Amino acid sequence: MAYDGEIIGEHPSIAETRRLIAKVATSPARTILIYGETGSGKGLVARMLHEKSARANGEFIDVNCAAIPANLMESELFGFEKGAFTGALSKKTGLVEAAHGGSIFLDEIRELDPVLQAKLLSLLDTQAFRRIGAVRSKRVDVRFIAATNRILSGEVRAGRFRDDLYYRLQVVAINVPPLRDRGEDVLILADHFMRKLGARYGRTIRAMEPAVRDIFLSYKWPGNVRELENLLERIFILEEDRRILVRHIPPRIMREVDGSGATAVGPSAFEDSDPDAPGETSSFDFHARTQAFQHRMIERALAENKGRSAAARSLGISRHALRHQMKKLGME
C-alpha cells in the first residue's frame, strides 16, 4: 500500500486513509483498530499512527498474535517474576511494559487466546497489569493499536472473540482498502518499487511493456501490495531485460486474468505445467490476448454506464487513461 513511512497512491480511498491517520494519530485515543486484507499495509498504518503522534519518541512494539504460541503469549505480553514458574530463573519485562510511553501493535488480534482476551480488556480499561507471579499491579501509559484481516463482528457471532473487547477496540477503526479497489495506484506503486529495487540491486528498470500495465490493472492482487512488491523483486532477480515484459509475468497471474471471462480462448498452454516455473512462457500471443481482454472490458463498461467518465470510474481508471486505451485499441 505504501512504503518507507508514507502511504503511496492517489485513489480517493487512500486519500481518506491518510486523512484518518493524521487525525487519529494526534488524538488522545488509546485504542485503535485497523481492518485490512493480508498484505494491504496494516503494519505501515500502525507505524504511521505511532510516528505521527506525540508518542513518536517512545517505543513501537510489534506483536504478531498468530506467531506466538498461546502458552507463551501471556509471559511475552506481561512478563513474569523470578520463580513464578519452573524455568523462571530471573525477572522478565513484558512487551506491554516495554512499550510504556509509546505504542504496542497487536497484529492479527483475532488469534489471541480467549483467556488473554479477558486480560487485555482489563488492561485497556485500567491501564494496569500484573506480571505473572507478581502481587501488585503496575500502571502503564500505552497506546494499543490492533489489526485484523477479518471483520471482528463475525468472529464475535461465531464465539471466537469477546464482544466486550470488540466494542472496546472498535471505538476508532481505520479501513485499509485492498489494492484491487485502488485503480491506477497499482502502477504508481509499481513505479515506486522499481526505483527502490533498482537502488537495492544496482540496475535500472523504469518501464514496462504496455500489455503489462493492462495486466496489472486487470489482476485482482489477492496478496495486495506485498504481492506486487514480491513479484517485481522476483523479476529484478531473475530477468535481464531493461523493462518488464509480459513473459516475465508468472503463468498463475496470466491464468487468472484470462479466466475472468473477458476473452474466450482455446485450451490453456499452462494446464500441465508448474504455474510458477521460472522462465516458462506460453505458446500463444499474450499481447494479442490481453488486448482482446481490454477491448471487451471497455466495451462492457461503456455499455453499462452513461458516458466515458462513468465508464472510466467503473474500471477504476481516469477518463484520460480510458481515452488513451481506446485509441490504442482502435476503438475511437
Domains of the chain, earliest start first: 2-177 (3.40.50.300), 180-328 (1.10.8.60)
The whole-number mean pLDDT for each consecutive block of 10 residues of the chain, a chain of 332 residues, reads 68 94 96 96 96 96 93 91 79 93 97 94 95 90 96 91 95 94 95 94 89 93 96 93 92 82 31 36 53 81 86 80 82 76
- How high is the pLDDT of residue 112? 94
Residue indicated by cell numbers 506483536:
63
DSSP state of 177: -
- How high is the pLDDT of residue 155? 92
DSSP state of 78: H
Show Cβ contacts of residue 24 under 8 Å, excluding neighbours closer than 6 positions: 32, 49, 172, 174
d(CA 186, CA 182): 7
d(CA 242, CA 322): 27
